[in-house]
Amino acid sequence: METVLVTGGAGFIGSNLCEELLAHNYTVRCLDNFSTGHRYNIEPFLSNPNFTLIEGDIRDLDTCRKAVDGVDYILHEAALGSVPRSIKDPITTNEVNIGGFLNMIVAARDAKVKRFVYAASSSTYGDSKSLPKVEDKIGRPLSPYAITKYVDELYADVFARTYGIECIGLRYFNVFGRRQDPNGAYAAVIPLFVKKFISHESPTINGDGEYSRDFTYIANVVQMNLLAMTAPAGSEAVNQVYNTAFGERTTLNQLVGYLKENLAQFDGEIANVEVVHGPNRLGDIPHSLACIDKAKKLLSYNPKYSMRDGLREACEWYWENLK
């Protein structure tokens, strides 16, 4: 039985990966310091003999070495997300997202893991105005967070060429779904808006609401991680970076309409909750849309959930877990 280390395994994406890997009969090791992840996300797995939790920080190299010992694959999700958080505190973002990444990939190299799959970000496209976003055409980063994620890609490329470690980066586009935390100052837009609507409070849209995103349901992201992890060794598919998205653009105004439509099925009053508009956020790009042709060609990626399909499932989950 092969062993997979999921860093940040108690987080939103990480816990969904742990769940899927256990369902596929992998031995799963979770490394998390619970700075943004939650114990309740992994509570169902703790009694599984194929699941091990290591509580520790990727900023500590010894912890990383302990975590990777005997591991076949690494899915590196641990990071400090959020553009606004990185603008407020660039030093900690850098320490975790670059220093921690370097610790993990060094530990992976020394432990001779088969493959290092890591969470990259669509923020890497920066001020590039071209749509859809194609992997080999990026702009200048617009936030400290975006810089850290691009540096991770550069490190992965150098480690692949210099040390022969197989790496695959997945540029996530606005992932959403079950277990995404609606609380805290840096909550993502979908769970934040859902929480507001359920409470009959007005969510705030930054700007006029015509900024658009390629919102990507968690099941598609899990699918991409497994495809990246299991792609044939030495094939053209490895040592690449891939857009991880559905390939469809939704404005924030449209998003609000879809959320109301789904949540009003549970509570008709939600349809009448007004939204308010605030200023645009620093570091935000106006539009984001992924080209997923590369992933389709090299990884046989076939996303099963459109944004609206995923939103229906996500709203059902939030209604059960937030109300």
* Site of tokens 């996530």: 172
Q: How far is CA 214 from CA 96, 115, 219, 239, in A?
A: 26, 27, 15, 24
Distance of CA 118 to the CA centre of its chain: 10
- Cβ burial of 195 (10 Å; 0-12, 13-18, 19+) is middle
Four-residue CA torsion sign, 103, 109, 111, 117: positive
Is 145 considered catalytic here? yes
> What is the rounded distance in angstroms from the CA atom of residue 69 to the CA atom of residue 210?
48
Which position among 118, 145, 172, 301 bears the catalytic label?
A: 145
Residue 244 forms beta bridges with which residues? 172
User: CB–CB of 255/176 below 8 Å?
Assistant: no
Q: Report d(CA 259, CA 12) in Å as an integer.
A: 20
- Considering only CA atoms, give the Rg of the chain: 19
Query: In the chain, where do the E strands start and end?
Result: 3-7, 27-32, 51-55, 73-76, 115-121, 167-172, 175-176, 204-206, 212-213, 216-217, 240-244, 250-251, 276-278
Strand partners, 276: 204
Residue 192 burial (CB count, 10 A): 18
Residues identified as active-site:
145
